[in-house]
Amino acid sequence: MTLISSLAMWFSNSKGKVVIEWFGWQVTTSPSFLIISIIFIFFFIYILLSLILSLYNIPKKTLLKIEKRKKNNAITALNEGVIASFYGNKKEVLKNLSIAKKSLNDTPLLILLELQNSLYKGDQHNTFTLLTKMLDIKVLKPLAIKSLIVYSIKNKDQKLFNNILNKSLDKKIDFLWIKKDIFKFCIQNNNWNDLSNYLEKKIPASNKANKEILSIAYFQTALGHYYLKEINNAKIFLRKAIKLNNFFPPFMELYCKLNLEKSQNQLIKVLKKYWLINPNPNIEQCLEDSFTEKDALSKLKIISKILVKNNHLYYKYLILGKFKYKAKIWGSSKSDLQTSISFKPSKEAYYFLYKIEKRLKTNESLTQELKLLYDKSTNDNYWKCDICDLSYNNWYPFCNSCNSFNSIQSININENYKVNKNNQLIDGTLIS
């Protein structure tokens, strides 16, 4: 305002005239009028150009608004389509996918919606193509890897499975995310050798859970080599398994079948230590596999050396009773079998007592009573899935019911029975 006032005062104090001659024409005016005219002409031209520019941009702005509206509608359709996929509305998924694809490029959510629609249609080729594309999209890579492993399970595709394992070595892919599906493939296709190599690279054997997982992979690899009679390879992988998870019952059985110890005395020491640290009924099978050439009496002497302590376990006396039966020491066998029943009745104990009484032919009514008890009894289960509680006679790496890996754990053999202070069964059926 000060500048404008100063200029107005200057023009009023500085009177004069301006003469313009152009092609014989002469125009005379005051400086102030000339300046005002120039300013007016400038603003007129500016307004005229603005108006022309606005008219020129009207179609472009209209198109932009239309595109924006379409994009907003596409985003809305995409969100609604994703939500519809969660409750399985196939029609809504297809409808919203068609709308979204018109205005959106290959965004992660659009690819997911297209994948879901492809799954609904059962289009395996397009499904595989989309999953492969997802591997190159950082945010979708974990989902793509898991889905492709499931795809390889369905199609028993060994090559695809190994390729996906290599891609999942990316540190950003959490092993827990794909663990269940990986083990499922390996169990169905006996692919433990490749899995062992993968796990060595993927997970650190620094905690108990990882050690168990890796040891099971090694064990299953060793078992596969054993069945193929590739004994040296079986021994290599079993040693790796035992190093991570020593005295685990299934490992010990294979350990005895492979005769890893150089001498029988050393093997007896190992089995004795196994019985002290982690007693399990399979100690009987371990001994049978280790001393196949020994006679019944020699085996009895060996098992008597091994089964020290753990006097509260019913199967200690059951095992001793069975070996004594095979050695034809009837009276002592009968005593051990009765002791076993006093801790916990078992089908096997009744069976061998029945066989002893039938052989001795001293008490027909007792023989029939034992036969009846045997018929009514059920086989003992020593393993149980800690997820679904399904019981097993033997250990497996995978529960067949709930498909959980490494969920089958050894159970307390007295967990379903009331015992006294001596850990003996209360109200058990004891035959004297």
Q: What is the DSSP letter of 424?
A: P
In this structure, the number of other CB atoms found within 10 A of the CB of residue 111 comes to 17
| 64, containing H or E segment | helix 31-86
**What are 18's strand-pairing partners?**
29
Mean pLDDT computed over 187-213 = 85
- Mean pLDDT is lowest, of 16-20, 207-211, 269-273, 347-351, for 16-20
Structure confidence at residue 341 as a pLDDT band (50, 70, 90) = very high
Would the pTM count as exceeding 0.75? no
The string of pLDDT tens digits covering residues 81-91 is: 888 888 888 88
User: Which of 56, 58, 104 lies closest to 79, judged by CA?
Assistant: 104
The amino acid sitting at 348 is E
- Looking up tokens 């995409």, which residue turns up? 78
Q: What beta strand segments (E) does 103-252 contain? A: none
pLDDT of amino acid 425: 42
Task: Evaluate if residue 407 carries a pLDDT over 90.
Answer: no
pLDDT over threshold 90, residue 132: yes
Look-up: residue for tokens 């500016």?
Answer: 46
The pLDDT, as a whole number, for residue 424 is 43
- Provide the pLDDT for residue 267: 93
Tell me: pLDDT of 4 over 70.
Answer: no
Weakest-pLDDT range from 9-18, 65-74, 267-276: 9-18
Q: What is the pLDDT of residues 38-49, one digit of tens each?
A: 888 888 888 888
**What DSSP element (H or E) covers 189?**
helix 175-189
Query: Residue 261's pLDDT is what?
Result: 85
60 or 391, greater pLDDT: 391
Mean pLDDT of the chain: 85
Quick check: 354 and 374 in contact, CB under 8 A?
Answer: yes
Per residue in 215-272, pLDDT (tens digit) is 999 999 999 999 999 999 999 999 999 999 989 999 999 999 998 888 999 999 999 9
Mean pLDDT of the 200-221 span: 86
Q: Answer yes or no: is pLDDT of 420 > 50.
A: no
- Average pLDDT estimate for 380-390: 86
Type and span of the H or E element at 391: strand 391-392
State the pLDDT at residue 429: 41
User: Which residues, in sequence order, are bridge partners of residue 89?
Assistant: none
CB 383 within 8 A of CB 411: yes
For the ranges 252-266, 310-324, 413-427, the lowest mean pLDDT is seen at 413-427
Percent of the chain residues topping a pLDDT of 90: 41
Neighbours of 368 (CB within 10 A): 13
Residues with Cβ within 8 Å of 237's Cβ and at least 6 positions away in sequence, in order, are 196, 218, 219, 221, 222, 225
Out of 11-20, 52-61, 155-164, 271-280, pick the least confident.
Answer: 11-20
Between 431 and 364, the more confident residue is: 364
